[in-house]
Structure 1
Amino acid sequence: MKLSALHAESRASLAEGRISDADLDARLLVEHFSQTTRTDAIARPDLSVADDKVAAVRAAILRRLAGEPVHRIIGFREFYGLKLHLSPETLEPRPDTETLVDAALERLRQSPASDGALRILDLGTGTGAIALALLANLPQASAIAVDISADALAAATRNALENGLSGRFQTTLSDWFENISGTYHAIVSNPPYISTEELVTLQDEVREYDPAKALDGGPDGLDAYRSIAEGSRKHLEQDGFVCVEIGYSQKADVISLFEGRGYRLLETRQDFGGRDRVLVFAGS
């Protein structure tokens, strides 16, 4: 089958199935499973695609039509310039979380320790996205990545290795601070922040494919922030900070929670859609 025909067939199938971003999803699936590139599609539209690869593309299209997210199908997602492999127990990293990386990077570059050894603690690391993005941009930094899932930590370890960052990246199996020691210049986290009741209202692609424990923030969505606020103080360097992602309506509640435990708000940052997404706190 010609490559151009495979692209056209895939786009049409997804469009007929009312998949949003059908053109993009079709391109990603065709390129991945046919092992071709965007350049091939433009410069070599008559390229012949082997039958087994055509079958693989069609199987992937059926999975997408059944509701499976495209990045789950191909097994990885780009984040802050890094290729990150996913696993069943990792949250799929999303562009809004790059806002947290931006905020943490700016402060770490201004840290008094920026010319020495910066230490970062990433709580609920999942794929390792936040920690690895920071390490990729801070050659003097090291990171401890924490998760309660061994599967997630295995994925994060693989991502560190494949992005050339494993020498400065370590993982720890821990329920928040349970197995953590030492102090850090930055404690960062994209924790579960959806209330248990709200989980049923999420899009099928999120509810059915992202792990529930990476989404469920308890009855009011704030359980993780309580754990982070309680445990961070004794693990912060004197000029260190805590940087957390939040749900769009949680700004006031999370600020109140941290300030009630003696933290000082340093910054609020909005995501690409103009919603409050990241809060940064000093320990005192």
Structure 2
Amino acid sequence: MTDTPTGSQILAAAVRQLTKSGVPDAARDARKLLAYASGVDAGRLTLILPEPVSAEVATRFDHLIARRSRFEPVSHLVGSRAFYGRAFEVTKDVLDPRPETETLIEMALRAPFARVLDLGTGSGCILVTLLAENPAAVGVGADVSPRALDVAMRNAQRHRVDERATFVQSDWMASIRRPFDLIVANPPYIAADEMAGLSRDVREWEPRLALTDEADGLSAYRTIIAQAQKVLEPDGRLIFEIGSTQGQAVAELMLQGGLVDVFVIPDLDGRDRVVTGRSVGIHQHKSQ
């Protein structure tokens, strides 16, 4: 006989602890963390739940659950997050890749591009995904944070696009000189007075610089639109991720900035998520 607890027992205790702490989706998170602590694929966790758990795995799991109880994101605990079918390294220095951002990827892939600039690249998930999906393209990821750029470079290496990706420390386009036919950005769009309403996972653990402009949530869009005309090729596209209430405001900024074919695109939940526009083409320049 043994008093060693089974996977099912420590999982149930962990779910109770996370629930008591107020963590949403406690059962889902506990399962992910037990699979990670056990070194098994999450899809195979059920197979090992009836088995006794080693002291090493139990200790590792306890530490993970304690950290999750303080609302540290699961992606930080396991070191990665899935995005567009690929696993990306995530640290406290970058935003967690989110499913909604895949809407931006889908829009970018609807038309050909050869040179893409990803502003505020963070983990590099947008740039790396676009290069992986378009093997003929090259791209630049710009970020003001050198630690974020380190993460982005590792993700580019992980997905074998590093020979086609360049990473530059830059405050938006301040250090960018070359032309691009596609510029994408998921800038900090949360207004300062909205920060308190964010979940604790986001508010307490993700980089504030990547979340808010400390103003009305539109500052980055104004800056990027003003700078974009200098490096966006004729007929080049500018694609933003936005907050769900910002579609009309960002679209208006793009139109005022001289972009054409401006559209607001919803995500899969029906919320405004992406605004896209195009620079004036060569022929239109000539006719004006």
TM-score > 0.5, shorter chain as reference? yes
Query: Residue type of the partner of 1:68?
Result: E
Unaligned regions of 5+ residues in structure 2, if any?
A: 281-288
Shift of 1:237: 1.9
Counterpart among 248, 273, 280 of residue 276 in structure 2: 280
What CA distance in whole angstroms lies between the structure 2 residues aligned with 1:39 and 1:201? 34
Give the alignment's Cα RMSD to 1 decimal.
Answer: 1.6
Q: How does 1:161-172 map to 2 (within 5 A)?
A: 161-172=157-168
Structure 1 residue ranges (4+ consecutive) displaced by more than 6 angstroms after TM superposition: none
Question: Is 2:246 the partner of 1:250?
Answer: yes
* Contact 1:10-1:30 within 8 A present in 2 as well: no
Instruction: Compare CA radii of gyration and give the structure with the larger one.
Output: 2
Query: How many residues were matched structurally?
Result: 276
Counterpart among 197, 205, 215 of residue 219 in structure 1: 215
Moved more, 83-92 or 5-14: 5-14
Scaled by the length of structure 1, the TM-score of the pair is 0.92
Q: How does 1:132-147 map to 2 (within 5 A)?
A: 132-147=128-143
Moved more, 236-245 or 264-273: 264-273
Q: How does 1:201-216 map to 2 (within 5 A)?
A: 201-216=197-212
Q: Which residue of 2 aligns with 1:174?
A: 170
Query: Residue type of the partner of 1:11?
Result: V
Q: Which residue of 2 aligns with 1:262?
A: 258
What CA distance in whole angstroms lies between the structure 1 residues aligned with 2:216 and 2:65? 37
Q: Which residue of 2 aligns with 1:28?
A: 32
Unaligned regions of 5+ residues in structure 1, if any?
A: 109-113
Scaled by the length of structure 2, the TM-score of the pair is 0.91
Q: How does 1:21-100 map to 2 (within 5 A)?
A: 21-100=25-104
What CA distance in whole angstroms lies between the structure 2 residues aligned with 1:238 and 1:177? 18
Give secondary structure in 1 for the equivalent of 2:104: helix
Q: How does 1:1-16 map to 2 (within 5 A)?
A: 1-16=5-20
Shift of 1:280: 0.5
Give secondary structure in 1 for the equivalent of 2:117: strand
What CA distance in whole angstroms lies between the structure 1 residues aligned with 2:90 and 2:253? 32
Give secondary structure in 2 for the equivalent of 1:106: coil
* Contact 2:254-2:262 within 8 A present in 1 as well: no
What CA distance in whole angstroms lies between the structure 2 residues aligned with 1:13 and 1:149? 35
Q: Which residue of 1 aligns with 2:180?
A: 184
Q: Which residue of 2 aligns with 1:228?
A: 224
Shift of 1:50: 2.2
